Amino acid sequence: MKTNANDIKHRDIVFTALPLDQASQAMRLLNRLEGIQCQAHPEQHKVSLQYNLNQHRLVDLEERLQAAGFHLDNSILQKILRALAHYSEEVHHDNQHIPEHNVKSRDVYAKVWENHPHGDHDDTPEELRRYL
């Protein structure tokens, strides 16, 4: 599958203030995974990630962190931001697996034009048109 700029995602994962130093520990864990670039922001209790959507998804990374004992910030704002990111990644992933159709092909429009009555088309025979 071809990688394009839309496949690269930049996300933040925000942790609770306690226990201390979750951001640095999470950065070490995430940087061990192939295809992830992670930077810790301990003062903001968060990590910033960059990853390819063909390799990773935010929901999977969050689940891995929670399984390792990390505590994500569950404020309403963070829940909404995470849900939006999960949804957009799911839609992006699903759209990649839909085959492209060439609906703009000239042949398609030419066939429709040939079979569709248009313009001055009149079924009245020519001899009757002259006399009416």
The answer as to whether 115 is a domain residue is: no
Q: What is the pLDDT of residue 123?
A: 73
Nearest to 51 by CA among 28, 70, 27, 33: 33
**Contact between 7 and 47 (Cβ < 8 Å):** no
The answer as to whether 109 is a domain residue is: no
pLDDT tens digit sequence for 75-92: 999 999 999 999 999 999
The answer as to whether 101 is a domain residue is: no
Structurally, the chain folds into a number of domains equal to: 1
Domain that holds residue 86: 5-96
Q: What is the pLDDT of residue 14?
A: 98
Say which residues have a Cβ less than 8 Å from residue 41's Cβ, sequence separation at least 6. 23, 47, 48
The answer as to whether 20 is a domain residue is: yes
Tokens 């995974």 -> residue: 33
Q: What is the pLDDT of residue 98?
A: 82
pLDDT tier for residue 15 given thresholds of 50, 70 and 90: very high
The answer as to whether 28 is a domain residue is: yes
The answer as to whether 53 is a domain residue is: yes
**Bridge partner list, 15:** 72
Q: What is the pLDDT of residue 6?
A: 84
Check whether 117 has a pLDDT greater than 70. Answer: no
The answer as to whether 40 is a domain residue is: yes
The angle formed by the CA atoms of residues 38, 42 and 48, to the nearest 5 degrees, is 25
Read off the CATH number of the domain in which 33 is found: 3.30.70.100
